[in-house]
Structure formats: structure tokens, C-alpha cells
Structure 1
């Protein structure tokens, strides 16, 4: 891999990254995927029931293994490394990792939701897939008749809490901000009127506890620590890592996610973003694969146009 200039370098090996690698690899482009093993929302998902054409409710890791096996048939290179930074010029992009620097004509950022790269709370990593989740619309169906807790800003968790009212027995909303002008007041009033929902403001999650699965959470509410029984903890606590990683090469939204157009193009030519790292409303495996498809097709066109221009003027 040393000194090789890849047509496409992909940061992340989740559903978006692997889909991009599949399309680019099948197009006979040279492709490198940079991955951190056993990290990501897909790998951590304990059961997936809403992936079209898959009937036996596999784990996320099972789907990941099948995706990677399929991609590997098309001469795609993989490297296990931690992404550090990206330098982008009009000609080539330098992707810096803790293992080495890699050069690509194009780069697809598919590193997943920001939370996966941030510092974990006590108990968070231990109970991933065992009650800890980052997506209520993904895992809500597994919370039937359970007590659940959501943590995050009011605007971010209100819609997720409303979704959970279809399944959960009791819903604790631990809101980290004052919510005032930032929340949909109609939605908040609807939640307040729902007997399943309890709201706690000025909240800070301290620790997630349990035996094999999540059983309770230690939360500081208005400066006072208390333990609350719960069977699921949905975390929307945010991170600054995306701003630190990508702020210099892409436009970011208020939450730090990468802004793209419908072609997955960022504000830097030849750099694309796909999947949960992208600024959007819905984050599912199906939407990630869709993003990955579009990003790859655009990257392929970019590389082929560059090659054509070089031939014309050589």
C-alpha cells in the first residue's frame, strides 16, 4: 500500500463504507477501506429485523461479515487503523491514520455516528447491544412493555420519545438543556400529556449499571444524583469529534454532522460523505447503503473524468 495512489479511499467499514467499496471495486477502481474493527452501530446491533430481504433477524455483525466478504471479492484493500486527519488538494487527498498515511484521488467519509468515536461513559461500552442504543427508531420495537430512558437535548430526543410511546411501558426523558426556544412546543406538550412519559431537566448521565443487561442508570438531575430503573438507555449525548476531524474540509451542521448535497458531495471537491456521519433526519442501515451507493457512483465519475482529461491533454 505504501506510496500507492488509490482511486477511492473510504474512511469507515459500516454499511455506507462497504456499499461504496462494493460499487467502486466492481468498477475496477483501486479502493482502500480504513476500518476500526468491532466499532460501529451496525456491528453493535444485537438484532436487525428491518433490512429488506433478510428474514432471520441476524445480528448486525452477521450482516457486516457478509458485506465484507462480498466486497473482498473485488480486490478491495482493507487496513485496520484509526483515522486522524485529512488533507485535501485539487489533485489528491492525504488520509492520515495512526498506522500510515494513504493517498486517494477521492475520499468517501463513512465513519458513522459521532458517538462511536467519542469517549464512552461508564457502562456504555459494556452494554452496547444489551440495552444501550443510539437509535430509538432502530431498536424501539425491542422495548415492548419495558421501561426505557433517553438522554440528550430536548430537541433531539423528543421525536425519538414519541416513537417509543408505541412500544414502551414507561419512558424517562433525561433532558440535558433547558429546551426553551429549541423544542417543538406542540410535540413537547403532547409528550407531557402522555402518561407514559416523565421528563427530567438539567440532567447528566453518570453511569449505566446492570448484570448481563441494562438494569438501572445513575443520573444527576438538578445537581442531585439518583438511580433510576430502566431496561434500555438511548444515548443522544453528542460529541465534538466530528468538528475536530472534519471541520477544516467540510461544512458541518449545528450538531457537527457533515453537510452534503443529494450527490453526497461535501464542500471540498472529490470528498464525499455517506451514512450516519452525514447531516440528515433518518439514520438506518438502509439509508446508509443508499448514501454509500450514491457517493461511490459520484466518486467513480470524478475519477473517470480526471482520467479522460489527462488523456486529452497528455
Structure 2
């Protein structure tokens, strides 16, 4: 790892050409840097972005492996200035580290690469905030395991924004996109009581999964409850409860939490889901909390997208979180 991140990581599959002209109107693709050295000075960076182009472990057919590249391509359509908050993200320094190498057929080997990548990030630049662009939801378990490997003394909590419990049985499905939270609980990386899942609804979670959640004291809020209480109240309460019991909060955003009419690129999106404005508010609030120390965005298939609706929503989600991050004291 003396030349971390390369060759341990693959360079970004897609890189924007910078024009080098200073402008007050900075676009996101101009703001996010790509490393030009195998041995950079990490000190100036605040945010690191990592791609994990994995979808072989998805239970349903998905090309979520295309998402990191698709999100990078969509950066050009966004500026760093957030009008609604009168805040410019360009005051942060962000760098794209590239992608975790993928084995052609061996999912377990790729999962190990993901764990190793998170552990390496915590070793080489622990002061930066890691944002991971997935990939299917199986990557979350591996990233959290990498965090635990780097910080074995910490208690980790999960803030999960999702339509599904993701508690399916590993003996049946293996470490797949439907099992990451179960994976972390079964492997004793986290406790069920330290999971807060927000966005469940309708006819898309089996009774057996609810029983497992209740047995392990998971905290979950349905979309009906979110609409009654308000997303800000629900997120704030979840963060307050996690703050009392854990050292690190890991935020995982499954893009299928959005209503299917608003996220055509999420293979498992359903009717009755969250609205983009609710998701943006949720992640901005999460970004403001000092114990939220890592984030991923998962389960988005650009090949199923329509007019980049889903991909641009995912980029907006990332930028909304970073808006909250900028608002930390």
C-alpha cells in the first residue's frame, strides 16, 4: 500500500478534463479533483469519493455497477453553490479516489477488496469523510466491516434510508443486496438496536423479516409514520437516539426508497415511496450530525433510468448531504 490509492484502486473510469480557468460559478465536475500522483498530500482534503461498481451480488437483475461512472458523468450538470442555503460546497476539497477492483466472477474476493479499501482509507486519511458510490447494497456490510477493522474500539450504528429491511437470511441468499444489515448483525459487527431504518412501506417486506427486526430490537419507521410525523422529526429523533448509544453513525441510502415514479433507475423502487425533497432533507440533516462519519449511495441502475432522472437525483442526494456537512459547527 505504499502507493495507495493506486494500484490498490482503479483510477476512475471516467474523468472530466479541467479547463483550468478560475470561475466564481464552479461546477461539481470542476470542483471534485482526480489524483494526479500516486503519493498525494492527503492533508488538504475534506471529502473522499470511492466507486464500488458491483452488482453481481444483486438478487434482482441490476446494472448498478454502472452507477459510479454515471454519477461522475452527471456532475457537470450541477454547480457547487446551493441557493436554498446560500452555501458553496467549493469551500471543501473533494477528491475522487477511483474504484474498488472487481473480480470477474468471485464475489467474495470483491467483497474483501471493498473491506480492505475502507480500512485503507481510514489508515491513510482518517480525517476525510468517505462517500461511496455503489453498486448494490451488499457493499454496505463490507464497508462497515472495513470501518470496524480500522476502529475496533468503536460502537457503530446504522442510519438506513430504504424501502426494505435488508434482513434476508444469509444461508439462503448469501452476502447479497437483500442481506447487508442481517450480515452485520449475524457477524456481530453491529447490534440490531443500533439500526434505524426509515422508509419501509407497503407490501414489500415479508412478515418474517419484521419478526427478525422485532426480535433484534431494530428501530424502523414506515413511510406512513414519516408522513404523519414529518421527515425532519423522524431523522432528528433517530440521530438523537443513535448519538446516545454509538460512536459512529454510518449512513446508507438505498435509492429504491424513492417512489418508483421518481426513481425509474432503481430496480426495486415501489409505489408509495419517499419523495426526492424528503430524501434531500433527510440526508442534509444527517450531514449536520458530527457522529455521521461515512455514507454510501446504492442500488441505482443507470441502464433502467429515464432521462437521467435517477442518476441526477442521486447526485443531488450526495450534494444535499455535503450541504449538511458544511453546516457542521
Q: TM-score, normalised by structure 2?
A: 0.31
Higher alpha-carbon Rg? 1
Q: TM-score, normalised by structure 1?
A: 0.32
* Structure holding more strand per residue: 1
* Structure holding more helix per residue: 2
